[in-house]
Amino acid sequence: MTNAQAIHPVILSGGAGTRLWPVSRHLKPKQFQPIASPVSLLAETIERLNDPRFLSPTVVCSEDHRFLVAEEFRAANKPAAAIILEPEPRNTAPAIAAAAFHLSRSQPDVLLAVFPSDHVIGDLASFYKAIDSATKAALSGQLVTFGITPNRPNTGYGYIQEGPAFADIARVHTVRRFVEKPDLQTATAYLQEGSYTWNSGMFMFRACDFLQELKILAPEIYEHSRLATDQMIEENGFLKLDATAFAGAPSTSMDYAVMEKTHRAVVVAADFGWNDVGSWASLHEIGTPDQQGNVTTGDVVLYQAKNSYVRSDKQLIAAVGIENLVVVATDDAVLVAPLDRDQDVRGAVEVLKQQGRAEAIAHSRVFRPWGSYQNLLVDSDYLVKEIIVNAGAKLSLQYHNHRAEHWVVVEGRARVTNGEKNFDLTVDQSTYIPVGVTHRLENQGTTPLRMMEVQVGPVISEEDIVRVEDDFGRT
């Protein structure tokens, strides 16, 4: 493949994944979770783009998730070409437009392939064949979408009706029309008719072709995305879109803004083991069932259970006599729902938000650019916390106005700044940080540092942090 045909992947990582609560939450949604395998969905996406067809990916994500994205690439030992930060979510069309404007600065006809970060693809050989067909169509000036050959009448997906074959390219057809999510009778008719595919939300095109169509079909998105990219700034290795300009872009999907209106749309019909992992039922579909149709993950014991999805991320689940249920347990929440109503999980999450419940937003383990922490015991004037610091990472140089802290190392070696003193602590060693004393915790080793922290004081809050110096630009 020549350099002119090299594909620049764009990974969209802005989804919230609320239908997969309680595993997926706002501060660490499903793309960063090991939902369908031992690694995260984003890690799976990065790995399948590790192919000579592709250059290093550009990622579009929210500012809240920038360090999670960077850590996924670091863990995969793969470089990201750029991580573009959305100041607020504006749906897929503005996100794709921002990436296209950025990547076309040096090469207007750059070839882009757009992939969500949270899909499962089981057959990589078929995936790459579909990519090759899409490349030929995109280089001829078409806007390509990928349609998945349906194997059942699914009412949770949009559909694409194929038109005539396009330019004798294998599996490529013109698009006759896009169809909203149908009812069961209509979906069954589509399956029998044979010219309909599921809309996967993946695309390929040259930037110049896409932007030309966007300017005509969705001029507001074009103009505001262009301004947001022109005024984009680099900060700590990330590219921040201009907030004011980007907020002016209508929040619209790629399909609504362009694909349903353009005369240049073609579809690659493919069957590569695709699943958008949009609900717990989808995990039941792609899992390996037992003889009673149950799919389980984690520490689960079932007795006389049928056709259920049961998952535990920590504690034992023992389920008796259940049928057609979803049961998902994390360390701080449990979900129970009928298998055919798992789409309504997002409604429960909205209720939690209305009640101000932290479980709607964050996990009990909170992730930071340097590692993570988990509150183990909380009261009005004390808190016990487990802290994990990644190899080579350090917290900000900081002090507290209201609390003192006791640190005990239980694994690894800590480099400690405590006022004017700098020293190391190893397993079973400790130090005391008085109120108002500047301090810092570092892990200069090659393995994670694990320590216990006890906070004591009249105000126990993450707001009681005054940062003096920070590697991540936080204030």
Q: Indicate if the pLDDT at residue 441 is higher than 90.
A: yes
Q: What SS3 class is residue 274?
A: strand
Same domain (yes/no): 271, 123: yes
Kindly report, residue by residue over 164-217, the tens digit of the pLDDT: 999 999 999 999 999 988 999 999 999 999 999 999 999 999 999 999 999 999
pLDDT in tens, 221-233: 999 999 999 999 9
pLDDT at residue 2, as a whole number: 41
Q: What is the pLDDT of residues 407-439, one digit of tens each?
A: 999 999 999 999 999 999 999 999 999 999 999
| Residue 450 pLDDT exceeds 80 | yes
pLDDT (0 to 100) of residue 472: 84
Number of structural domains (the chain) is 3
**Is there a single domain that holds both residue 106 and residue 173?**
yes
Q: Is the pLDDT of residue 1 over 70?
A: no
Q: pLDDT-derived band of residue 254, with 50, 70 and 90 as boundaries? A: very high
Element (H, E) at 71: helix 66-76
Residue 79, C-beta contacts closer than 8 angstroms, at least 6 positions apart: 56, 73
Q: Closest Cα partner for 390 from 409, 407, 418, 367?
A: 367
* Residue at 125 is within a domain: yes
Within-domain flag for 475: no
| 331 pLDDT more than 50 | yes
Average pLDDT, the chain: 95
pLDDT of amino acid 15: 83
pLDDT for the residue numbered 195: 94
Q: Residues 255-303: pLDDT tens digits?
A: 999 999 999 999 999 999 999 998 999 999 999 999 999 999 999 999 9
Say whether both 336 and 216 belong to one domain: no
On whether both 300 and 268 belong to a single domain, the answer is no
Q: What does 421-471 look like in DSSP terms, one character per residue? A: EEEEE-TT-EEEE-TT--EEEE--SSS-EEEEEEEESS---TT--EEEE-T
Confidence of residue 359 (pLDDT cuts 50, 70, 90): very high
**Per-residue pLDDT at 343:** 84
Q: Residue 3: its pLDDT value, please?
A: 42
Same domain? For 253 and 286 the reply is no
Average pLDDT (450-466) is 95
Among the candidates 354, 381, 400, a domain finishes at 354
Domain annotation covers residue 384? yes
Do the domain assignments include residue 360?
no
What confidence tens digit (pLDDT) does each residue in 32-88 have?
999 989 999 999 999 999 999 999 999 999 999 999 999 999 999 999 999 999 999
Shared domain for 158 and 270, answered yes or no, is yes
Same domain flag for 370 and 457: yes
pLDDT at 4 over 80: no
Closest-CA residue to 20 (of 281, 231, 263, 194): 281
Residue 333 confidence class, pLDDT cut points 50, 70, 90:
very high
The verdict on 193 and 269 lying in the same domain is yes
Domain C-terminal end among 252, 275, 298: 275
**Which DSSP state fits 317?**
E
Q: What is the pTM of this model?
A: 0.91
Query: Which among 275, 292, 326 is the end of a domain?
Result: 275
459 and 339 fall within a common domain:
no
Q: Do 265 and 120 belong to one domain?
A: yes
Say yes or no: 390 and 348 in one domain: no
Residue 444's domain comprises 365-469
| Helix extents (H) in 77-123 | 92-103
